[in-house]
Amino acid sequence: MPHRIEAAKATVTSLAGNGANIVAVASAATGLTQQLNQTHPFLYLDLPIWLFFAAAVILSMMGSLVSLFVDLMATPPPSPARLAINLVLGFLTGIIGAFVILPSVTAAPPMPLLLLTALSMSLLGTVIVRNIGEVLRSAELWQSIKTIIKDVIIEALEVAKKIAIERWKLFLALIFGGHSK
Amino acid sequence: MSIYTLLDWRFINLAVPFIGLISCAYLFFSRKTCTKRVGVSTAVALSLMFWLMLTWADWGSLSFVASYQTMWARVILLVISLLIAYELRYYTRLSRFLRAKNNQLQLEKKQLHAIIHRLETQLTHKDESK
């Protein structure tokens, strides 16, 4: 019998602990709702903070939709699947810019800055994502980038070689007293 | 707000990034500037990003201190980007004008070919009739 009593005790304590956990989680959630309801002044209004977060999400969507009117996206119109991928990635760039990059690079971002970041980052993110895709997809563009880099390196090496030879001549002239030509 | 407040260097320092953001947005959405090429659109998007980052420095940073020199640097950056925007606009207009002229010349070339063909056929008919 005593072992059964022990088991019952253990069950009861574990149940109680579980209940305490649930209560703790619930209190944390109420803490979160309290935090989300704290107000920030904006345009002489004291608005709750969740409103700003929702506005940032909506502005990210707007930024990626507005990018449909940019020349790059408008002419020629891409296929619907590629367009959808571009818009979703632009939206995600806006969200990441507003909620990940901005808090990590600035110490105290005010709420209007968050909204501006969400709008601009989603717009420019759509354009940049599309351009990166374009470069990765088109063999010709990739080849031209490689050629440019190669040409620049070769040119720099040639300039360096020329300068080195001239300096070496000057050095020799200095040492042996010849004329530098 | 008096004119002296508007011309204060701190105010100009704060205002210039927003003018830059507006100019970049104008470049993107204007029909008179073509930003279709990959390099141009990437450059405009990245300049949008740097104006945005300057606003981050102004309003979000605790360590950044604006000075008279940063104001002048920003104004000069704005002037440079406006000059580039003007050039882009000019070349867009030029390329549209040249394309229109080219189309016109192609049309005239077709018409001339048609006239020459007609004349040649008339001449051959005359030869045959002789």
Mean per-residue pLDDT, B27-55: 91
Interchain CB distance below 8 Å, A134 and B29: no
* A71, A102, A141 ranked by CB distance to B35: nearest: A71
Q: Which pLDDT value is given to residue B81?
A: 93
Q: In terms of Cα–Cα distance, which of A145, A91, A114, A57 is closest to B42?
A: A145
What are A43-86's pLDDT values in tens digits?
A: 888 888 899 999 999 999 999 999 888 888 887 788 888 889 88
Q: Given pLDDT bands bounded at 50, 70 and 90, which one contains residue B102? A: very high
**pTM across the whole model:** 0.73
Rg (CA), chain A: 31
Q: How far is CA B117 from CA A138, B106, B109, B123, in A?
A: 43, 16, 12, 10
A9-16 long-range contacts, Cβ below 8 Å, gap at least 24?
A: none
Interchain CB distance below 8 Å, B60 and A106: yes
Task: Enter the ipTM.
Answer: 0.79
Pairing of strands A45-48, A39-42: antiparallel
Interchain CB distance below 8 Å, B60 and A134: no
Concatenating the DSSP letter of every residue in A129-142 gives HHHHHHHHH-HHHH
Q: In terms of Cα–Cα distance, which of B26, B39, B17 is closest to B86?
A: B26
Q: Which two tokens stand for residue A74?
A: 């408008």
Concatenating the DSSP letter of every residue in A89-121 gives HHHHHHHHIIIIIHHHH-SS--HHHHHHHHHHH
* B21, B41, B56 ranked by CB distance to A127: nearest: B41
Cα dihedral B95, B100, B104, B110 in deg (nearest 10): 70
How buried is residue B75: exposed, middle or buried, by Cβ count under 10 Å (0-12/13-18/19+)? Answer: middle
Interchain CB distance below 8 Å, A71 and B42: no
What are B4-13's pLDDT values in tens digits?
A: 777 788 889 9
Residue A135 with chain B: CB contacts under 8 Å: 38
Mean per-residue pLDDT, A14-24: 60
CB pairs under 8 A between A and B: 69
Closest approach of chain B CAs to the CA of A166, in angstroms? Answer: 37
Helix (H) or strand (E) holding A54: helix A49-66
B95's CB contacts (< 8 A; 6+ apart) are B34
Which B residues in the span 55-74 are in contact with A, Cβ-Cβ below 8 Å? 55-56, 59-63
Nearest CA in chain A to B28: A70
Q: Given pLDDT bands bounded at 50, 70 and 90, which one contains residue A19? A: low
Using the predicted structure, report yes or no on whether residue A42 has a pLDDT greater than 80.
yes
Report the C-alpha gap between A118 and A58 in whole angstroms.
Answer: 9
Average pLDDT value over all residues in chain B: 91
Report the C-alpha gap between A52 and B102 in whole angstroms.
Answer: 53
Query: Are A116 and A57 a contacting pair, CB within 8 Å?
Result: no
Share of chain A above pLDDT 90, in %: 38
Q: Which pLDDT value is given to residue A68?
A: 87
